[in-house]
Amino acid sequence: MIVSIQRTSVAALSISAAAFVGILTYEGYKENAYIPVSGDVPTIGFGTTDGVKVGDRTNPVAAANKALVDVAEFEGSIKQCVRVPLYQYEYDAYVSLSYNIGSGAFCRSTLVKKLNKEDYSGACYEILKWNKMGNVALPGLTKRRQGEFVKCFGG
């Protein structure tokens, strides 16, 4: 039996369980709020920043539940700015990227402009450009972007 895989309307997609676990793995867990990089915003749990203050604490269950809520918000933003159908693996890669860089940056990006012109390959390559803080490439971001890039192409 031959199974045909087609791109699906973004409105019909939801992040896969594997991609959600991937986001949690990339983000790592921190019980106490911290500043990940000088000049950045306070972060807690699995990368949550909304309403976080230095001194806040969480636990793994609460942090995972908050990450689910956060992912749903990023999915909603993607569904607002991406107007072309995607494969599940492309969608998962873009949700992971958006979770890390923010919805506004994602939706204003050259990546989305290319994507909405159906330049799927060019959009995937844009992921690799998001590995810097300021003008400095960070090893952790570079590794994450390489993983998202591979996922974007179905790997």
Which of the residues are catalytic?
A: 27
For 90, residues 6+ apart whose C-beta sits below 8 A from its C-beta are: 7, 120, 124, 152
Q: d(Cα 149, Cα 52) in Å, to the nearest integer?
A: 29
Closest to 47 (Cα-Cα) out of 128, 129, 144, 136: 144
Locate 131 and state its tokens: 């590995």
CA 51 to chain centre: 19
